[in-house]
Amino acid sequence: MDYLPNIDAVTYFYREILPAIKAEIPNIVFEIVGRNPTEELFDICTDAVITGEVNDVRDYLATAAVFVAPMRLAFGVQNKILEAMAACVPVVSTDRALSGLHVREGEEILIADSPADFAQCCIALIQNQQLAESICSNAKQHVQQEHDWDLILAGFEASLETKANGNRSPHRVHTRR
């Protein structure tokens, strides 16, 4: 939690999105789970639970109603989103955080880029158990089919084998030096 994109996401959520959720669901608890939280987070997020480093994030995912990824500064695949999806926690994310995930909005994840829309997505998942279960089920299946390490490594090994045999792969990436 000392990485600028994570700090920005947490403070943005806390200041801009959480108040709308609390207006609808007053007893909501916002847990910030991650190592090395900054003093800024403690100063700003005064009524949030800030854990610092935990032994196993799955313990927190198991009790979460929603996983939020309100990333405004995001680069590469956000493994935290895949982890939540695999743990069967419904995810609300900004579009920016979804690079490389190829998820279907409304099927495997809810996507919102404005604070009002983000809050409404969170509220919908908390108040509509059928929607949350559908998103969870689809998300877990997506992770198992598209992001399983064994499948990824098999594809990687096949591309190495193709290269070793001198065959050109249609998915090769060339860079100039």
Among 91, 129, 123, 124, which residue's Cα sits nearest to residue 108? 91
Q: Do the Cβ atoms of 33 and 54 come closer than 8 Å?
A: yes
Q: What is the mean pLDDT of the chain?
A: 88
For the cut 80, the answer to whether the pLDDT of residue 171 exceeds it is no
State how far the Cα of 85 lies from the Cα of 144, in Å rounded to an integer: 10
The pTM score is 0.83
Residues 20-76: tens digit of each pLDDT = 999 999 999 999 999 999 999 999 999 999 999 999 999 999 999 999 999 999 877
Among 24-33, 62-71, 96-105, 114-123, name the one with the lowest average pLDDT: 96-105
Domains and CATH numbers, the chain: 4-145 (3.40.50.2000)
State how far the Cα of 139 lies from the Cα of 39, in Å rounded to an integer: 34
Output the six-digit token pair for 29: 């608890």
Among 77, 35, 38, which residue's Cα sits nearest to residue 57? 35
Q: Do the Cβ atoms of 77 and 97 come closer than 8 Å?
A: no
Output the six-digit token pair for 136: 């969870």
